[in-house]
Amino acid sequence: MSSRERRKDGGIPSGVVTRLPIYLRYLTELRDQGVGRVSSAQLGKALSFTAAQIRSDLSYFGSFGQQGYGYDVDELLMHISRILGLNRTYAMVLVGAGNLGKALASYENFRKRGFEIRAIFDVDEILVGNYHACCVIQPVEELDQYLKENPTDIGIIATPGHVSQDICDVLVANNVPCIWNFSPVHLQVPDEVIVEHIHLTDSLLRLSFRLNEQRHRD
Amino acid sequence: MSSRERRKDGGIPSGVVTRLPIYLRYLTELRDQGVGRVSSAQLGKALSFTAAQIRSDLSYFGSFGQQGYGYDVDELLMHISRILGLNRTYAMVLVGAGNLGKALASYENFRKRGFEIRAIFDVDEILVGNYHACCVIQPVEELDQYLKENPTDIGIIATPGHVSQDICDVLVANNVPCIWNFSPVHLQVPDEVIVEHIHLTDSLLRLSFRLNEQRHRD
């Protein structure tokens, strides 16, 4: 692997981290199809990476692969799962029970992987008190008290943009270490807080950019 | 800017493309707040990039910035909008009218930017015939005929994973150039088809990875 990419603190470069879930997903598909082993060339072809890239990425986690044999799917899955922290459960709260929030709360894959939405909050009095995906929707004013009583790993923000920083501040003040942000706003958080943004419009704009680039080229 | 990053075909490197929507979003916020100009240092601080990175990125689109003055917010917005292809509208179809699909169809920001969902399809007979966000939900069997009659720029796949490749194949066969994929599956498409994936679980796994990395470090 390139020394340029290897981080000085011994941590795993963000590019590799970004690809680990992709490996996990594809290897899970392979295991479910009964595939026992896979070569770096096969992985690369399926995922549109080079075989060298695959070998480089996986080398961060010890030497699983054997020349001429490839990787044992189960073993690789186990290693990647552990590296991704999938050997435990994560307590989550969801703020915002609109269509997007409801979709997130209903998503079975999260729970299967150990990510459990344990409480849902919304500002809308019509929604409060309703059950959704095994949680009663609580008034957002109770978020602060809930977090004081229930240590929480991940706060999901699926609110309109104009309130998301306020919600974020409540999460941060209650030591929620991770924020999963679906609102179209760049949140201000202390350095130690981990944030993942899902900016849907950004993704759509990358599509339109690439479409226009392609049309100008043709 | 680094020559390593500059693409040989004169195109814009994918890293820059990824950041353009981030600039657009933040500059729109600034404009809405009545801010007329901004320096690369201010942009960098707000977006957690270095000022050098900002200047390098924006240099791909000509020299807007003036030493000691910074960037004119309106002018920069206009350029970035044009580069992102926001000077036209995009016809979209949505396949899958579950909670996530409904959330996408209701998202006002897309329409504001010119991304118009013009038809919605689902396999569920209970949903078919209902109106959602100004579209009647049509049976998925009619997708193929619809696409033959209505040229479409972007196909949104918000279906369960086991049918998403089939849906993708119908879109591709009808020359839909862009796929926006929300299903947890790696789609196989011809090289010329542009795909953006929103893999929610992958994003969640990056959170758990970083949380575990942080806890091991502390």
- Please check whether residue A194 lies inside any domain of the structure: yes
Indicate whether A48 and A100 sit together in one domain.
no
Do residues A133 and A117 touch, judged by C-beta distance below 8 A? Answer: yes
pLDDT tens per residue, range B63-77: 666 666 788 899 889
pLDDT tens per residue, range A66-94: 666 788 899 889 989 988 999 899 999 99
Q: Which has more pLDDT, B9 or A212?
A: A212
Indicate whether A169 and A138 sit together in one domain.
yes
Q: Which residues of A touch B201 (CB under 8 A)?
A: 21, 25, 109-110, 113
Q: Measuring CA to CA, which residue among A70, A108, A114 is closest to residue A89? A: A114
Average pLDDT of every residue of chain B: 87
Indicate whether A94 and A191 sit together in one domain.
yes
Is B208 in the A-facing interface, judged by CB distances under 8 Å? yes
DSSP conformation class of A138: E
pLDDT tens per residue, range A171-187: 999 999 999 999 988 89
Contacts of A92 (CB under 8 A, 6+ apart): A110, A115, A116, A117, A118, A152, A153, A154, A155, A156, A180
Indicate whether A32 and A100 sit together in one domain.
no
Helix (H) or strand (E) holding A90, with range, is strand A90-95
Is B18 within 8 Å of A210 when comparing Cβ atoms? no
Q: Which residues of B touch A204 (CB under 8 A)?
A: 110, 113, 115, 154, 180, 196
- Please check whether residue B170 lies inside any domain of the structure: yes
A191: its two tokens: 């350095």
Is B110 within 8 Å of A201 when comparing Cβ atoms? yes
- Please check whether residue B29 lies inside any domain of the structure: yes
pLDDT tens per residue, range B74-118: 988 998 998 899 989 999 999 999 989 998 998 888 988 899 999
Confidence of residue B3 (pLDDT cuts 50, 70, 90): very low
At residue A155, does pLDDT exceed 70? Answer: yes
DSSP conformation class of A95: E
**Model pLDDT, residue A68:** 66
Residues 43-62 of A with CB under 8 A from B: 46-47
Range of the domain at B55: 14-83
**Mean local confidence (pLDDT), B38-53:** 86
Interface confidence (ipTM) of the complex: 0.84
pLDDT tens per residue, range B183-195: 988 899 999 999 9
Q: What is the CATH number of the domain that holds B31?
A: 1.10.10.10
Phi first, then psi, for residue B197 (nearest 5°) are: -105, 135
DSSP conformation class of A141: G
- Please check whether residue B44 lies inside any domain of the structure: yes
Phi first, then psi, for residue A215 (nearest 5°) are: -70, -35
Is A214 in the B-facing interface, judged by CB distances under 8 Å? yes
- Please check whether residue A206 lies inside any domain of the structure: no
Do residues B141 and B167 touch, judged by C-beta distance below 8 A? Answer: no
Residues in chain A: 218
Alpha helices in chain B (DSSP H): 14-32, 40-47, 51-58, 73-83, 99-106, 108-112, 143-149, 161-173, 200-217
**Model pLDDT, residue A6:** 44
Number of domains in chain A: 2
pLDDT tens per residue, range A18-41: 888 889 988 998 999 999 999 888
Do residues B51 and B40 touch, judged by C-beta distance below 8 A? Answer: yes
Which of residues B68, B83, B98 is at a domain's end? B83
Indicate whether A67 and A102 sit together in one domain.
no
Task: Give the chain A residue nearest B178 (alpha carbons).
Answer: A207
How many Cβ atoms from other residues are within 10 Å of residue B127's Cβ? 19
**Model pLDDT, residue A10:** 54
Indicate whether B75 and B114 sit together in one domain.
no
3-state secondary structure of A93: strand
Average pLDDT of every residue of chain A: 87
Indicate whether A98 and A58 sit together in one domain.
no
Q: Which residues of B touch A85 (CB under 8 A)?
A: 208-209, 211-212
Q: What is the CATH number of the domain that holds B143?
A: 3.40.50.720
Indicate whether B111 and B151 sit together in one domain.
yes
Task: Give the chain B residue nearest A106 (alpha carbons).
Answer: B99
- Please check whether residue A35 lies inside any domain of the structure: yes
Alpha helices in A33-160 (DSSP H): 40-47, 51-58, 73-83, 99-106, 108-112, 143-149
Do residues A184 and B109 touch, judged by C-beta distance below 8 A? Answer: yes
Residue recorded with tokens 């226009």: A212
Is B78 in the A-facing interface, judged by CB distances under 8 Å? no
3-state secondary structure of A31: helix
At residue B12, does pLDDT exceed 70? Answer: yes
Indicate whether B102 and B187 sit together in one domain.
yes
Is B184 in the A-facing interface, judged by CB distances under 8 Å? yes
**Model pLDDT, residue B89:** 95
Mutate to test the interface with A, among B9, B154, B205 (most CBs of A within 10 A): B205
Mutate to test the interface with B, among A17, A83, A99, A120 (most CBs of B within 10 A): A99
At residue B180, does pLDDT exceed 60? Answer: yes
C-alpha dist (Å) from residue A26 to A77, A139, A198, A215, B187: 10, 39, 21, 32, 11
Indicate whether A39 and A109 sit together in one domain.
no
- Please check whether residue B209 lies inside any domain of the structure: no
Do residues A102 and A156 touch, judged by C-beta distance below 8 A? Answer: no
Indicate whether A21 and A117 sit together in one domain.
no
Indicate whether B66 and B96 sit together in one domain.
no
Confidence of residue B150 (pLDDT cuts 50, 70, 90): very high
pLDDT tens per residue, range A97-145: 998 999 899 888 898 889 999 999 999 999 999 888 878 999 999 999 9
- Please check whether residue A211 lies inside any domain of the structure: no
Helix (H) or strand (E) holding A118, with range, is strand A115-122
Is A15 in the B-facing interface, judged by CB distances under 8 Å? no
